[in-house]
Amino acid sequence: MTKSPPRVNRFADLQFNPRFEYGEQAQAVQICGPDDMSELGAGFGRLTNARFPWTIKYDEILIVLDGELTIHTGGKALTAGKHDSIWLPAGTELEYEAKDALIAYAIHPANWAE
């Protein structure tokens, strides 16, 4: 198989779906990943009245597009506002917290769940 060709993903056309078992707290949409034969995964996430745990199984960068995101990890709170970013190496145990945030993410490897 070959990688998918270049394309534009129009934000207005993207369909956010609930992520994990946290329902409306976390919604996401992938814009590239394993279906494109890419080692890089990227997309958008929307966090609403969210506070839930997760362990990162991939390297990840989170970029806050709107609102504020706090990551609780290792006894610290990492808070990022609009246009700030948070780097998370694989293996990080954390808790996401956001009242209302729109984020962009990039992960490697994209096929971490396989």
| Domain hosting residue 48, numbered range | 29-108
Q: Tell me the pTM.
A: 0.93
Any domain includes 18: no
CATH number at residue 87: 2.60.120.10
pLDDT band at 98 (very low <50, low <70, confident <90, very high): very high
Any domain includes 87: yes
Other Cβ atoms less than 10 A from the Cβ of 101: the count is 23
Any domain includes 103: yes
Given a contact cutoff of 8 angstroms between Cβ atoms, the answer to whether 70 and 62 are in contact is no
Other Cβ atoms less than 10 A from the Cβ of 37: the count is 13
The pLDDT tens digits of the residues spanning 49-93 come to 999 999 999 999 999 999 999 999 999 999 999 999 999 999 999
Domain total in the chain: 1
